Structure 1
Amino acid sequence: MDVRWLEDFLALAELKNFTRAAEFRNVSQAAFSRRIQSLEHWLGTPLVVKGAVPVRLTEAGEQFLDSARIAVDRLLDARASIRTSQFDVMSQVRIAMPNVLARSEFRRVLSIIERKHNSSFSVIVGTTNDVVARYLAGDADILFAHDCPAIPTHDTLDQHERLVIRRDLFQPYATRDEAKREAFGFPGTPRAPFPMVSYSQKAYFARLYEHVQERARAGGAALPHKISVQCDMSDVLKEVIAAGYGIGWLPESAVDDTADAQIAPIGGPEWALEVDICAFHPPKPSTPSIEAIWASLKRRAVPDGF
């Protein structure tokens, strides 16, 4: 029996939807369904009522739910305990952060954490969805990610401790080439939509852009566009924007000095969205070294998050 089957079952029981649960677990829906079926075969009984929308557990599934939670918690606690025991003087802290923040914020984070903690660090990077899933699965002690009051990074994170490390601004950028900027005709018209460099639909930043677009529509404006390039990675989109392929939204923190020489914000503040760069920590107590590091972050945190 694979512990991932239990984690899949718990996600399905909470979200009550195969598609959403598969996205949360970062697997295809087909693979997710096979893993649920494998767990049912291992137990010898169905756990989910077939065809029920939203998903509903069978009587056996309800009985098994608490046992699955306890088993996963104990396994994760045992793994954490074993990993902790591998270090004597040095205590490794597992940090998860998206690629875009790893490049712009990791050194800043290290400068906030007091060196007297004598800790080593293991850094998990990937897309926002990837690192959030890894953190929630227990693979990281502290998560750093963009977060916004209007569009939370993940619903489950509201149960975790949250600190605002600093503010950021999600706004549209275009090449500094004046001729191309003017030709884009931002913010576009139905007859002449502007070319857009966008994130794929599952990306967190794509959800932020959708909020900007909905806010514009509510205010009587619009953002007519046609997608020229689509990608999950902000660094890739940044290069495409600099090359003049279109306009794309980026967090201001992602625009370093090199990029700043090639791209610049376009449009007014109505197209921008304030976001936070946050740290998250599980609500249950952790090791003394991790708690000490969290205390250091708390001392430097921005007050009044949301």
Structure 2
Amino acid sequence: MHLVWLEDFIELARTRSFSRAAENRFVTHPAFGRRIKALEEWVGSELVTRTQPVTLTRAGMLFLDAASNSVDVLYAARAQLKESAQQNEPVLRFATGRTLAQTFFPDWYEGIRRQCGEFPVSISTGGAQDVVMKLAAGEADMLLIYSSPASRMLMDHRRYESLTLAHELLVPVSAPDQHGKPRYQLSNGAAPVPWLAFSQTLTLRGVLARHLSELEQQPALKMVYQADSYESIQEMAIRGTGVAWLPQRLIAKDLSEGRLHVIGDSKLRVRFDISLYRMRGSTDVLVNTIWDSVSANAEQE
């Protein structure tokens, strides 16, 4: 089976005419017909009815989706391979969360680039488990994640080494009411406050749960919304659906412009870290160069 046969069939399905399709494919009508026939023999089923206009058989309609997807995938793969072949510089592959990719990575990357010079990067984002698996599978050179002493215990330090790049605060917030005051307040009273919670896939769920469990007086909360996206929880908090604990970097603009207010006392704020991980014993020159540069200004974990 030849790729050109698939392209012929897709064109025939588009034009519904052997003569027009042959013309568009820059072949003679008889040669085009032979190629369609050869494709049908390879598939083992008649794909079109030789009527005017041409119609697809049931098998032809099913095969059209497969042919179109196959052609798209093959050309995309070829383009990617060409780009890789033309890329002389190595690419540093980072795996991180969507929020860190937005709030922390850009400024941090600019600082590293000033120290080390230009180097290309590739960012892939996902949930905590997803990005850790990318590092473990060798699909990423470095992992940038939220961390805490508890979450670091889950990483095998015989296999990975890490650095603390920055500290962050998880702060409880509420949207304002019509008077510009926080709509909700946190207390340990009988009436629970509506709460916008983290899904289990988010690293900060465990960080927050551990912190709240250690408080002498815990706020009364009623979960009304749960999401695996900090940005989704941020939007619901701005809409006034409930209280939320969110990373300070993420909501800095909302706080300064009054869309959210920090509530509760300092005991309700949670300190955690932003950490960088890599596999131990890396022999990649670019990975080691960047790691050594970062190590000079970071905290060893």
| C-alpha distance after superposition, 1:217-249 (max 9, x if no partner) | xx2x12221111110100110111111111111
State the distance in 1 between where 2:181 and 2:130 align.
34
Render the CA deviation track for 1:45-102: whole Å, top value 9, x for unaligned.
xxxxxxxxxxxxxxxxxxxxxxxxxxxxxxxxxxxxxxxx957641111001100100
Q: 1:112 Cα shift?
A: 2.5
User: In the aligned structure 1, how far is the partner of 2:158 from the partner of 2:265?
Assistant: 32
1:285 is displaced (CA, Å) by 2.0
Asked if structure 1 preserves the Cα contact closer than 8 Å seen for 2:141 and 2:278, the reply is yes
- What amino acid is the match of 2:286? S
1:255–1:183 CA distance, 2 compared to 1 (3 A): closer
Letter in 1 for 2:239: A
Supply the distance in 2 between the matched residues of 1:183 and 1:272 (Cα, whole angstroms): 19
Counterpart AA for 2:213: E
Matched, 1:167 2:164: no
Change (3 A) 1:88 1:230: closer
TM-score between both structures, scaled by the size of structure 1: 0.64
2: CA distance between counterparts of 1:109 and 1:153? 25
Partner of 1:244: 240
Counterpart Cα distance in 1 of 2:106 and 2:182? 37
What do the CA deviations read for 1:146-187 (whole angstroms, capped 9, x no partner)? 111144373335742211111101121111337696553413
Counterpart Cα distance in 1 of 2:221 and 2:152: 25
Q: Does 1:131 align with 2:131?
A: yes
Q: Shift of the alpha carbon at 1:260?
A: 4.0
Say which one has the larger Rg: 2
Write out aligned runs for 1:1-306 (5 A): 89-114=88-113, 116-152=116-152, 154-156=154-156, 159-177=159-177, 184-189=184-189, 191-216=190-215, 219=216, 221-258=217-254, 260-261=256-257, 262-301=259-298, 303=299, 306=301
Q: Which runs of 5+ in 1 are unaligned?
A: 1-84
Give the Cα separation in 2 of the matches to 1:94 and 1:275.
24
Distance change in 2, residues 1:157/1:176 (3 Å): farther
Structure 1 residues 198 and 104: alpha-carbon distance in aligned structure 2, compared to 1, 3 A threshold: same
User: Aligned Cα RMSD in Å?
Assistant: 2.5
Listed one character per residue, the Cα deviations across residues 102-148 of structure 1 (whole Å, up to 9, x for unaligned) are 00112122113235554211101112222122122211001111111
SS in 2 for 1:167: strand
Q: Count the aligned residue pairs.
A: 217
Distance, in Å, in 2 between the alignment partners of 1:125 and 1:236 is 16
After TM superposition, give the deviation of residue 291 of structure 1 in Å: 0.6
CA gap of 1:286–1:228, structure 2 versus 1, over 3 A, is same
Other structure's SS at 1:255 match: helix
Deviations 1:15-48 (A, max 9, x none): xxxxxxxxxxxxxxxxxxxxxxxxxxxxxxxxxx
Q: 1:201 to 1:139 in 2, by over 3 A?
A: same
